[in-house]
Structure 1
Amino acid sequence: MSIVRGAATYGRGAGAYARVGVESAVMSASPHQLIVMLFDGAQGAIRAARIHMQAGNTLEKGKSISKALDIVNNGLMAALDLEKGGEIAERLGSLYDYIGRLLLAANLHNDQESLDQAESLLDDIASAWREIGSAGAQG
């Protein structure tokens, strides 16, 4: 087996192992932990987008921002329960919508400031969400 084929095989194996790890974490996570995972994924995608934006890699920047948008719109936004959550859920929905618009602006205009603002807002919400989980676990 050549070194190149060995490296490719290792890469596929490592990727499969990572997917199984993520799938296992998702299957065993509480609803609260799933939301934390969504925040982590969105924040990671935004960090990757920033790196690609700074490197001038438009294609990968777009993919990373699309991933963050997908998580915000189809993960975080979709998880809101407007009936039970009332005004808080409505306000979070508006905030997620605004974050989505910031991400679109960042992608369209290579706007680092919009990307930073979207990340900052997500960080604030994620921090509050983690505190809620810590308080629930202690109490």
Structure 2
Amino acid sequence: MDLQEISDRLEIADVITRYTRAIDAGDWDRLDTVFTADAHIDYTESGGIAAGFAEVKPWLAEMLPAFFPARMHTIGQVDVVFDGDDDARVVAYFDNPMPVDDGKGGTRIVEIGGMYHHEMVRTEHGWRSRRLHEQVVWKRGI
């Protein structure tokens, strides 16, 4: 592994971290540093939408806080496969427990585990995701 590949892997890992921090903190504008403007995002396996970034970003801002007021991702292994110098396929394992209203004055935890499949591209602003597919492997409490 040369220095460029090490640098690319670190930057790609940072994109994954920025994504999960943006979602967890509700910092929706931070997603602009994660995705290309023409990115396609697919959340259908977890009950969400599949659409372009311009449609998904406001949908996230409206829907996630309404259903899941607190979110906390844990990212596990991240597999990066480069397709030339400027493209990469990235798979990041995730666990996402979220407290929700239990309807009785308390909370219960719902949890989703799976893999984020990104197609990343090197841009003038660094690595960005041009496609995200959220693959749900398991759910608990739903």
Answer whether TM exceeds 0.5 for this pair: no
Q: TM-score, with normalisation over the residues of structure 2?
A: 0.31
Q: TM-score, with normalisation over the residues of structure 1?
A: 0.31
Larger fraction in helix = 1
Larger fraction in strand = 2
Q: Which has the larger radius of gyration?
A: 1
